[in-house]
Structures are given as structure tokens and as C-alpha cells.
Amino acid sequence: MSHSPAVRPGAPERLARMIRLETVSAELDQRGIADFDRFRDLLAELYPLVHEHLSFERVTDLGLLYRWRGRGDGDSVVLMAHFDVVPADADDGWTFPPFDGRIHDGSVWGRGSLDDKGPLLVVLEAVENLLAEGFVPARDVYLSFGGNEESYGDAAVAAAALLERRGVIPWLVLDEGGAVVDAPLPFLKVPAAMVGVGEKGVMTVRLRARGEGGHASAPPRLTAAARVARAVARLDPNPFPKRMPPSMRAMLASFTPHARGGARLLLRVLTALPWLTARVFGRLGGEPAALVHTTVAPTMLDGGSAANVLPARASATVNLRVAIGEDVDSVVRRLRRAIRDRDVEIEVVEGYAPSPESPTGGPQFAAIADAVAASYPEAITAPYLMMAATDSRHFHRYAPAVYRFAPLAMSAAQRASVHGVDEHVSIDSLERGERFHRALIRSLPE
């Protein structure tokens, strides 16, 4: 794989400028769209060749779609990212203000550096550098950037629908998701590029109860607030069964050759006995447990108007990440059985079923693995099931190969900083991420 020596300097500074635009989609009503428009204009300034050679159109107010025409007429590739970010408060203990875009100690710090402006930057860096060489891809490459992924907005929905109407059936869709990690499992310390081949569904459910209002000095046996609190309590322990999805079995199999001693034996056993694996991972808690069952997270409680007044109504909001094997209807049925109270209403605020799992044995997954080898030669490439939702789920309706991988190295602390405090990306990761996308685009078959 050849690499151009003429890669432009200044990628960290370009990312810093992106971070300084406060594209917080959850606060769009308060902040307005100005920073989102400035972001689009900034891309035109920072990537002149992209804007000279690729066609561009806006999709809704917040979607940016570029088309790079290829040499042949093979099915297109869609590279995705989003440029909106979640809120950040400098008072939460950030080392540097979250929207300063500070470059310090070999890293770029700030909200969006990992999620998802850093991954967006390395796509554009690769395309700009390839254009500078006069390179033309073997097939069309679309760049689809959304401005409201974090608020479950419609920019990516509209982009996917637009390409479908035009008859564009992508050969490969690649969005944010996994990363290069140093310890993919608690007992396995080996660098691994974790490529999401599917993702769990997302549901938000509101539990509601009503009761007699009045003075708190003479309460009934069960107030509306107490009824909702009891319903929430009955969701622990987790009422959903533990299952091992196919992608997880493929993940363990890919790790096995790189493990030693007892770890290798354990991986062989876990691969061969999926029912045991589901139980082991469930006991590990955290990310391993989330892989094997639907997670239940009560996130908001509401009810009452004063400390000495009985609430006439109360509610709890519950966020669920729906595992393979469940759907919206089955989740509601399980919640109903666990709560065991017909006076608690279950309202589905939003609900998306899990995505299908894309293949790991085809040329698309192999192309991703080859690009990983060119950019992170020390890492193995392994499939896994995404626990969070991405914009790429909107392509699953008609695209056969949808994957989720941001080619950046992330330590455990960095992964925890996504949507948290002190989000930052190393400059080395940005360079390797650019190399990944350059290798991937170069290798596209005719």
C-alpha cells in the first residue's frame, strides 16, 4: 500500500476549529442554526479540493451530502459521520473549556474530538489528500454528514431515503461506532479494531400512574409516585433473557488465535457454548453484559407539585437498548410482566428494533480489515455488536453491508469521555485515521 508523502500538515488545527463551533443539536431551539451553517462554510474553507471536485447538496437544514464520482459503475460507498455534539458544561471539571479546541500534550481536546468531529475530519483529510494526488476512486464515494444524530434527527433519515430514491444501493456503508482499543475483553490485552456489524435497538418508554390528589397528611396505601417507584424497582434485576448474538460468536473466534494459555482455552469454550457465554458476560456487568441482553436504564422521574401534596400523577422515563432477538412489541410485553401492575401505563415514546447484522465473511469486511492493517498494523480486526445507535441504521432497510468503525485509538478513559468530561483525541490517531480512509478508498474494487 503506497502512502503519499505530501499529506497536508495542520489536521489538529483544523479539528480545533471544528470543535470551536458549538453545534449542540439538543440545544438547537435555544442556540439557533448559525454554528451549523458556519460549520458547513468552514468545511468549504478547510477542504477546497473536496468542494471543487465533489458535488454537494444539503439534505434538510442539517445534512451535508457530497458525491465523488468514480471511474467505474460499481455500487457506491457511503462514508458517514455527524458534526453535532452533546452538551458540555465547563463547570463539570474539564481540564480545558470544552469548546476551546485546545491542542495540548499530543492531543486535541474538546467536545466532539472523538464523537464525531474527529472521525469526520479524517474522512475529509483522506479525500483531500487523494484529490491532491489526482486520484479517482474505482466507484462513486458519497460523504454523508449529519447535523442532528445526537438528537435522533432526520438528516440521516432523509439522506438514506434520497439515495434509495435515486437507486443508489451502497456496496458499503461505514459510520462511527467501534474504535481501536487496547483491551477488548477484561482478560484479553491485545489491540483490536472493533467493527460494529449491527446495533441494538433503542427505545424510550414512559411509565405513568395516576392517583387521588390531596394533602400528604393522610396518604393512601399507594400514591401515584409510589406506584411508579415500585414499577421502576421491579425492573431490577434485569427482566430480559441473555442471548449470544452471532456477531459475538464471530468476535470471540477472531480473538482466539491471539490469546495465550488460559485465555485461549476460555475463548474456545465461550465460542463453543453460546448459552454459557451469555451467562458469563451477564455476570461481568457493564459493556460485556450489555452485549447479551436488553439493558434497562431509568433516566427521569417526574411527579408532584409540593412536598406536602399528594401527586395526582407521576411518571418515570426508561431508556432501553434492545438486544438481537427482541422487538418493540416483545419489550413492552416483558416490561408489563415485570412491572405486574395494570394501573401503570406503558407509553412507547420512541422505538427502533435492532438492526440486522452485516456479514463478516464478505469483501466489504475484508476491505475494512485491510485498511486497519495499513493504519494500525499491530491491531486485529474483530466484529462486534454496537450498543449505541448510529445514523447508519437508516441504511439497513436496503443496504446489505453496513458497518460502524471510527479509525481512532481510544483508551478506556477516552471512551468514558465520550458524552463525558475531558473528551480528547491523540494527534497520532488522527494521522492513522486519515491513513485508514486513504487505504480503504484506494482499495475499492472496480
Q: Judging by DSSP bridges, how do beta strands 172-181 and 345-352 pair with one another?
A: unpaired
Average pLDDT, the chain: 95
Find out whether 292 and 248 touch, Cβ atoms under 8 Å. Answer: yes
Residue 5 confidence (pLDDT): 46
pTM: predicted TM-score of the whole model, two decimal places: 0.91
356 within 8 A of 220, measured Cβ to Cβ: no
Peptide bond into 237 cis (omega under 30): yes
User: What DSSP state is assigned to residue 137?
Assistant: -
> What pLDDT is stored for residue 217 in this prediction?
87
Distance CA(335)–CA(236), nearest Å, equals: 11
pLDDT at 101 exceeding the cut of 70: yes
* pLDDT tens digits, 403-426: 999 999 999 999 999 999 999 999
**Pairwise CA distance, residues 128 & 393, whole Å:** 27
Q: What distance in Å separates the CA atoms of residue 164 and residue 395, rounded to the nearest whole number?
A: 9
Highest mean predicted confidence (pLDDT) among 184-188, 276-280, 430-434: 430-434
Contact yes or no for 317/205 (Cβ under 8 A):
yes
pLDDT at 337: 97
Higher per-residue confidence, 1 vs 218: 218
Rounded Cα distance, 315 and 303, in Å: 6
Is the pLDDT reported for residue 187 higher than 90? no
> Which residues contact residue 446 at a Cβ distance below 8 angstroms, ignoring those fewer than 6 apart?
71, 72, 74, 138, 139
User: Residue 115: what residue type?
Assistant: D
Q: Residue 80 in contact with residue 145, Cβ under 8 Å?
A: yes
Q: What is the amino acid identity at position 314?
A: A
- Position 6 confidence tier, pLDDT thresholds 50, 70, 90: low
pLDDT for residue 4: 45
| Torsion-angle region of 105 (φ positive above 0: left; ψ -120 to 50: alpha; else: beta) | left
> What residues contact 366, with CB distance under 8 A and at least 6 apart?
none
**Could you tell me the pLDDT band of residue 7, with boundaries at 50, 70 and 90?**
low
Contacts of residues 263-266 at CB distance under 8 Å and 24 or more positions apart, as own/partner, are: 263/187, 263/188, 266/187
Pairwise CA distance, residues 300 & 64, whole Å: 33
Q: What is the pLDDT of residue 168?
A: 97
pLDDT of residue 125: 98
Whole-number percent of the chain with pLDDT over 90: 88
Residues whose CB falls within 8 Å of the CB of residue 15, separated by 6 or more in sequence, listed in order: 101, 108, 113, 117, 118, 121, 425, 430
Confidence at 123, pLDDT banded by 50, 70, 90:
very high
Residue 147 is which amino acid?
G
